[in-house]
Every structure is written in C-alpha cells, then in structure tokens.
Structure 1
Amino acid sequence: MIKNRRELFSLHWTCASFAGLALLAGCASPPAATQKPAGWIKDEVADSYVFGYPLVLMGVARDAAVGTDPGQAPLNTLRHAQALPPVGASNPPQPSLDTLDSTGWLDVGSEPVIVSLPDSHGRYVDARVLDMWTNVVWSTSAQFTTRAAGIKSQTIAFVGPGWQGDLPKGVKRVDVPTRNAWVSVRIQSNGTRDLTAVRKLQRAIRVAPLSVYAGDTRTATITPPRSNAADAAMSASGTPAAQVAALDANGFFTRLAQALPDNPPTPADPHALKFLADLGVTPGEPVKLPKAADAIAAGLTEGHERVVTAPTNLLNGNGWNWFGDDVGNYGPDYALRAYAASMQPGIGTKDDEVRAVVTQDSDGHALNGANRYVIHFAPNQLPPVRGFWSITAYTKDGALGESAPARLAVGDRNGARRNRDGSLDVTVSSVRSKSGNWLPAPRADLQLVLRLYAPKPQATDSSWQPPAVVRQ
C-alpha cells in the first residue's frame, strides 16, 4: 500500500507570519532563552536543527569540495568525473554507474555566473542547480516531453539576490536566492567504451562569471565563502553528512549563524528565525546558547533522529521507499527537506529523477547477496520513464561491491531482456545466474537502488510502485 500523506514540519511554529526578513532585527532576544522552561529549549533546539540542517550540510559540502587540492575545484569551476566510482566507494553513498558527473559550486554574490551546455545529440543529460537550502532553482527536466532525447545547446545566467544589469543576448536568466549554489551535470554513459564521447561533452561545458564571459577578466575576482581552520580540518575527514552529525550544538548553530546572512531562508520565515533568536542564534553574530546543557543535548539528539526519520509523505510500496511530488521544492515542509538532504544529497525534483531504495525482501527479511532474489516487472508495470532506468546493488552502507561483477547495473540502458509476454525479471545474487538480467550483489547484507531518469508523472503520484523483491 502506498502512503502519501502530506506532513508539514511538525513544529510549534503555528503563528508564523511570512512578512520577510525585515522582522529579524525585532526578533533578536537572546535573554528570553534563559527564561524558558527546559522543555521549550529542548523543543526549539530540535525544531531549529531540522530547519537549519540543509543549509549547514550544504555549507560543509561546499567547503570540502572547493579548493585546489586533488578532488577539489575552485568556485565557479566544474570538476569532471573521468571514470566509474572507485571500488568500495561510499563517498558519495550509492554512486551511480549510469552517468559521469560534472559538479561544482557557484558564487553569485558579486555577479552572475554563466553556464553553457552543449548539444548532447540525443544523449541523456540531467543538469540541475540547487540553492543552499537544497531547493532546485533550475533543471533540464522541463525540456523533456514524452521522452528524454538529449538537450540542445543553451546558455544560462545564474543571478544572485539584488543584482541589476544586462545579460548578453540569448542568455536565459535564472534567479538564485542564495549567494552560493551547487551545479550538477550528469551525462549518460553506456560503459567504458563510451567514455571518450562523454568526456568530449564534459569538455564542452563552460562555467564563468559574467565579467569573464564578457571578456573583462580584471573584474572577475570572487571572494571565497567565509571559513576557518577548524572548518578546514573538519572537511578533511568523513562525508558531509557524517561531519554535520559530529557537530555539537554550538558548532552546528555557529555554522548556521555564519551562513544565514548570505543565504536567507527560502521561503522567508521570520518565525523560524525568532526560534533561533530565542536560542541566542542571530545571523552573522557569535552564538550564545542558553545555559541549559541537558535540554540542549536532548534537543540535539531529537534533531538528529528527526533528520533521519522518514516523513509520512514519503512514498512506499512493496518494501521500497522513494520521494514523491514534493521533492526538490519543499516550501515550509522542513521535515521532508532535511530528510531528503540527509538521505539523497543533491536530489532533484519529481521530473528529474526518482531513486527508490529497498533493504528487505517480501517477507521482511534483510536482503543478503548470499541468497537469490527475483524482481518481476509485469508488462504494464515497467518503470515509467522518459529517459531510462537501472537497478544497482550496494552494501548496506551504500558502497559498491569489491569484485568487478558487483559493479554492474541492470536496466534498459544496457538491454535488459523481456519475457515473451512483455514482462521482465531481474535476478539478484552474488552467485552468477543463468538469467539474462543478472544483477551481481555483494555477499553480505545489501540495499537495492532503482533509478528512474526523467520519470513520468505516475512514478511520483502514487499510481505506480516497484515490485516486491522475492527470495527464491
């Protein structure tokens, strides 16, 4: 049974007035925090943690990715993946075997940043830009109609708050509500023999500040995001999600306070900012948390739990779970926004991609590669896509298997065979199967990820669900 009940953030914020950030100055009242009962402090810490989690996570991810060290790239520059993920890769978790990704961080605080994409000549390309609250501000999915048949050459200017000026002719303007933004361009790859063509498309992507694009390099200096030695040391180890989870309350709220001036909440929520002010958290100012260590620690623990707890408007069926129509543009649904940022960093909108995950078989037992499973798609229940789909097996931690066969995905991109009646069976096991659609799996507890690229509406409106994983 699929569940799709809307769950707005279950906070105490019932009297919010969306009058804009102008209320912020009048909201700052740190002394009031010490007068609140400990229970209210706990609740407001938990609520504020869920509210601020995506911004803090994106800031940590940016700091880890921006630079000149191996694996990094400067601001307004793309880093191109050149090959499939390394064996055992779990950073990011659940790495795709379907695309080569080009990613980078934009700084639109001083001037617009221009992104030019080449004609893909029919090859599937998924490009998207997220603001610092993980809302999708632009993606190529709107260009796909009945099927995803590649993209045409195009140039987009990503414009920060308050910028006024003229853009070059033929450049489309997209407004970004935050100073920084994350850009991802994923290009379909059809195996190792296809990498040369993919790399050629990657090299044709251009990213440049407006002044550089227009030829005036003297005015192209971009001030890097604020950081410090402690932030740099933290970014040296662990995934961004792990780094955020390791922060204590003062560390978390300090990063949030530092990020807010350049990246105001979207939508503007003065009531949420008042909660922060009650706790001594004011944008751009040193954090002064109440002297209630137990309540703060309890609120932080509850915040951690909320972030990783699936909200009730997450779709689920036959043991799988996936995001529905609300993903990518969250409005005030802070619970869904935080959960999506934690579980599937960089997730797009319902039109960009669906990523369904299952960890149990039809009897409720943990999936394990030592067993043999079959996923049977009825003729009228194949994944509904305008692009393509695939299934990949990972360890329970989201890493690829150590052996070469375990680094394969099964889907229509690589010619999954149908049965005579039009149905399709995928066999999952660590032991080679005679089935034409064998999905190699780690010989341990595992998870399966079904990706739908450019999904059709029925993939997210509750009218379709993946079939059960049945142990043989």
Structure 2
Amino acid sequence: MIKNRRELFSFHWTCASLAGLAFLAGCASTPASSPKTAGWIKDEVADSYVFGYPLVLMDVAREAATGTDPGQAPVNTLRHAQALPPVGAARPSTPSIDTLDSTGWLDVSAEPVIVALPDSHGRYLDARALDMWTNVIWSTGADSGVRPASAKSQTIAFVQKDWHGDLPGNAKRVEVATRYVWFTARIQTNGSRDITAVRKLQRSIRVAPLSVFNGDTRVASVVTRNMMPEMSAAGAPPAKVAALDAAGFFGRLAQALADNPPAPDDPHALKILADLGVTPGAPLQLPASAGDAMAAGLAEGHDRVATAPSNVLAANGWSWFGDGVGNYGPDYALRAYAAYTAPGIGTRDDEVRAAVAQDSDGHALNGANRYVVHFAPNQVPPVRGFWSITAYTKDGALGETTPPRVSVGDRNGAKRNRDGSLDVTVSAARVKAANWLPAPRADFQLVMRLYAPKPQAGDGSWQPPEVVRQ
C-alpha cells in the first residue's frame, strides 16, 4: 500500500512488478497481450483515485462557488465574508474566527486575470493562489523568502503559460498550467467591532480580466457578496466527491483533465488512467465486467485519501503539515490528504495549522473536563504574525460556548507566567484562569493556527505541547 512521500504509483513502475507490461521505457518487457486481472484493476483504481482526488475536489468546489445564486460569484470576481462564521456552522470545517476571508475562482483561459492588493498598513493580510491540483503557485511575500505579517500594495497577473502580450507595468507575472485558479485573501480581524476596517480593506482588492483592468475601473471593481451559504455536511464538496461512484469520479476527472493538466507532467499516471479508460476530455470507457474490482479500488482510494502519510508531522497528540505541503511534486499521497483535510492549505511558510482531539493519556477531549496546555518559555508558537487556539466540536463546527466563539492567542492578549511560560486552560465550565478557552460540552478538538510562522514551526524542530487533563 502507498502511504509515504513520493511512493504513489512507484510499486507499479518497477521492472520487477511490470514484467509483461510494455509501457514503461527502460524495463525489460514482453508483449502485454493478456488482460489485466481484477487485482491489477483494483490497485490501479485506488492509485488513480489518490492521484486525481485533488482535481476532482477542486472542480466540484469551483462549480459550487461560481454562478449568480446567493453565496456565489461569477468567475474573476471575489466574494467577501461579511461577518464571523455562525455557531454550529457545518462548512467550512473548523472555520477561522481570526480572519475574514475573500475568495474567488479565476479563469485564465481567454486572457490574464489581474489581482491588485492594497497596502494593509501593518494589519495581517495573507493572500495565495492555488492551481487546480492544489499547488500554491503564488502567495504574499513569497519572493522575499521571509514571510511578512502584512502585505504591501502589489499587482499580480495570472497568465497561462502560452500567453504572450503586454501586462500592466507594475504587475508580477505568475504563469499557470491549469485553466482555473483558486484565489483567497485573509485579513486579520479583532472581533465584531473591527469588521468595518476589514471590509474597507476587502473593498480595496481589485480582481479583473486584463481587458477590463485596463479599461473602466468602475467595471473592474470587485463584486462583493457573502460567502457560501450554510450547507449540510452532505452538500459540501468533500462529501459530494465521496458519494461519487467509479463512473462519476473518473468521468469528472476525465473532463477536468482536458483543461487542467497534471503538475508535474506525469505520463505514467496518465497511462494508468488510460488503461482504465480515462482519457482527458474523452468519454469514459471503464473496464467491462470489473464492477467488483472497481468498487474495491474506489473504497481503498477513499481510505488512502483519509489516512495521514508518514511525512505529516505529529507530536504530543497534535498533527500538522510541514515540508512539502503546498508544493507537492509527485507526492500524491500528501497532496490528496491535504486536500481532504485542509482544503486551500498554503505552504509551511504561509501558515501552520495543528489539530488535536486527545489528551496526553489518549482519551478523547471532552468539555466536562478541564485541560491545560502548558507552553514552556521556548515553546510558545513561533510566528511573525500571530497565533491562536480555538475549540470546535469533533465534527469541526463552532460549538455553543460562553463567551461565544472565543479563541486564545497573542492577538487577544494571552498572558504569560513570570518565567515566560504560558498556560491555556480549556473547559466548558468557566474557570478563573488568565487564558481560559471555552470548549463545547461534548467531545471536541483543538486547532492551533500559526499565521506567518517561523521556519521551525514547519520543519519539526518546534512542537506543540501535550494537552493534560487536570
């Protein structure tokens, strides 16, 4: 089974395992005349599911978010969150209460799309763009090599690789291999009384195709809409993808591949897909009389996507992404798992998001108990921006807490002990503690977010402390 970095498909592509298969150049081979067995079909379906999952998920998410219905926006425009997420929100899972987000889908097939960001004047502003395979193709401050905690005024042009023409003089050219780009911008908010200032910054972001950007600025202004309306878990993109049968999943993959070639270019993966009858832009032709093998491979693919590969960092019950996230190369297992668990995640230099659902004894976190997260003086989250800890239900929703929806972190004045250490007390019942974090009354999880993290947060040299039941 393929769990680890850069291993996806590798066991199919060794000379020993490919005896009798002629498609891999350089291996001694014999004519491939016999049909594939059910076992081979199962394995190839599972491998191809892991390979194609991010593209199918992004395609489903794009379709759900673009249009003129409430909560949607046309392509090449942004929709802005106008308020913090409501209590009990089912999607997105574990929503942030530290920022207000602006997001949109860019279509660069006809011409470049220009994004102009304002100066945030010291306020944390994180913006990033992902291709349809969830690779981060650009993010704020990436060129400097040192991730800033705020953004300066800048203009970015997202351009397909084969496009030639003139761009605005101050625009940075970012080449895109896929037709669509997912753009997001997150702006720090300090609570409901700070919303007006955040909205002003949101309105200052401009997104428009090149021909419009160079013309009437009134036409080029950003369309402001609410974020996606609340939907049931069954209606969210991950659930929709999980509900697809083999024909539905691979049919969607075949159509999406036509405009969104894989990165890196991977002829071996495309050859395996072709063996299954999946060709970019062509009608699906799955193997006949192999329904059981297809179903078994699909089930195995589901399990692999939901299973953390070995290069996901883990310590003291927490897990988080480190090296490789956002720029996956051929690490298809990590790419699929990141898309499944943290859609839109950036690189380790953009953010670190650690989650825990068990205490130091391995028991599920529950609001009936009291817990302490003790940061030693040299263990406080290392950031250039800010950090926070938020409690969610085990399903990732904001639970009913008093005070509602609060997080604890340096943004809201977390107090240190005399020796420089810091304690966060977590419980459903109010306690007299400097850094009390209200939790749901049932089982819950904690998510620690590091905005503009320092390098040690993503290379494993820093680790979050254990959650100890009192």
Misfit runs of 4+, over 4 Å: 4-7, 143-147, 234-237
Within 2, Cα distance between the matches of 1:335 and 1:9? Answer: 6
Within 2, Cα distance between the matches of 1:285 and 1:216? Answer: 40
2:102 is the alignment partner of 1:134: no
What's the CA shift for 1:146? 6.5
2:416 aligned partner? 418
1:287 aligned partner? 284
What's the CA shift for 1:6? 4.4
Within 1, Cα distance between the matches of 2:141 and 2:307? Answer: 28
What's the CA shift for 1:377? 0.2
What's the CA shift for 1:279? 0.4
Q: Which amino acid aligns with 2:108?
A: V
Contact 1:141 1:454 in 2 (8 A): no
Contact 1:7 1:311 in 2 (8 A): no
2:227 is the alignment partner of 1:196: no
2:103 is paired with a residue of what secondary structure?
strand
Are the structure 2 counterparts of residues 280 and 34 from structure 1 closer, same or farther at C-alpha, using a change threshold of 3 Å?
farther
Q: Which amino acid aligns with 1:241?
A: P
Identity percentage of aligned residues: 75
Instruction: Give the TM-score normalised by the residue count of structure 2.
Output: 0.90
Show CA shifts across 1:189-245 (max 9, x none): 01111111100000000000000011189x99xxxxxxxxxxxxx999611000000
Within 2, Cα distance between the matches of 1:151 and 1:179? Answer: 27
Q: Which amino acid aligns with 1:275?
A: I
Within 2, Cα distance between the matches of 1:237 and 1:458? Answer: 37
1:138 is paired with a residue of what secondary structure?
strand
Instruction: Give the TM-score normalised by the residue count of structure 1.
Output: 0.90
RMSD between aligned residues? 2.2
Within 2, Cα distance between the matches of 1:10 and 1:448? Answer: 35
Q: Which amino acid aligns with 1:128?
A: R
Contact 2:6 2:332 in 1 (8 A): no
What's the CA shift for 1:402? 2.5
Show CA shifts across 1:279-317 (max 9, x none): 001111111111201100000000000000000000000
Are the structure 2 counterparts of residues 49 and 363 from structure 1 closer, same or farther at C-alpha, using a change threshold of 3 Å?
same
Structure 1, gaps ≥5 residues long: 17-22, 24-31, 221-233
- Identify which of 350, 353, 359 aligns with 1:361: 359
1:9 aligned partner? 8
Q: Which amino acid aligns with 1:434?
A: K
Q: Which amino acid aligns with 2:261?
A: P
1:409 aligned partner? 407
Quick check: 39-48 or 5-14, which moved more?
5-14
Within 1, Cα distance between the matches of 2:282 and 2:377? Answer: 59
Structure 2, gaps ≥5 residues long: 16-22, 24-31, 221-230
- Identify which of 260, 269, 289 aligns with 2:266: 269
2:275 is the alignment partner of 1:278: yes
Are the structure 2 counterparts of residues 7 and 465 from structure 1 closer, same or farther at C-alpha, using a change threshold of 3 Å?
farther
2:212 is the alignment partner of 1:207: no
1:243 aligned partner? 240
Within 2, Cα distance between the matches of 1:141 and 1:360? Answer: 35
Contact 2:313 2:319 in 1 (8 A): yes
Q: Which amino acid aligns with 2:187?
A: I
Are the structure 2 counterparts of residues 189 and 236 from structure 1 closer, same or farther at C-alpha, using a change threshold of 3 Å?
closer
* More contact order relative to length (CA 8 Å, sep ≥ 6): 1
1:96 aligned partner? 96
Are the structure 2 counterparts of residues 153 and 162 from structure 1 closer, same or farther at C-alpha, using a change threshold of 3 Å?
same
Within 2, Cα distance between the matches of 1:144 and 1:424? Answer: 32
Contact 1:117 1:205 in 2 (8 A): yes
What's the CA shift for 1:162? 1.4
Q: Which amino acid aligns with 2:465?
A: P
Contact 2:406 2:438 in 1 (8 A): yes
Q: Which amino acid aligns with 1:255?
A: R
Quick check: 146-155 or 195-204, which moved more?
146-155
Are the structure 2 counterparts of residues 146 and 304 from structure 1 closer, same or farther at C-alpha, using a change threshold of 3 Å?
closer
Are the structure 2 counterparts of residues 236 and 145 from structure 1 closer, same or farther at C-alpha, using a change threshold of 3 Å?
closer
How do 1:105-254 residues align onto structure 2 when only pairs under 5 Å count? 105-142=105-142, 148-215=148-215, 238-254=235-251
Within 2, Cα distance between the matches of 1:111 and 1:417? Answer: 51
Are the structure 2 counterparts of residues 275 and 146 from structure 1 closer, same or farther at C-alpha, using a change threshold of 3 Å?
closer
Are the structure 2 counterparts of residues 343 and 110 from structure 1 closer, same or farther at C-alpha, using a change threshold of 3 Å?
same
Are the structure 2 counterparts of residues 154 and 288 from structure 1 closer, same or farther at C-alpha, using a change threshold of 3 Å?
same
Q: Which amino acid aligns with 1:246?
A: A
1:454 is paired with a residue of what secondary structure?
strand
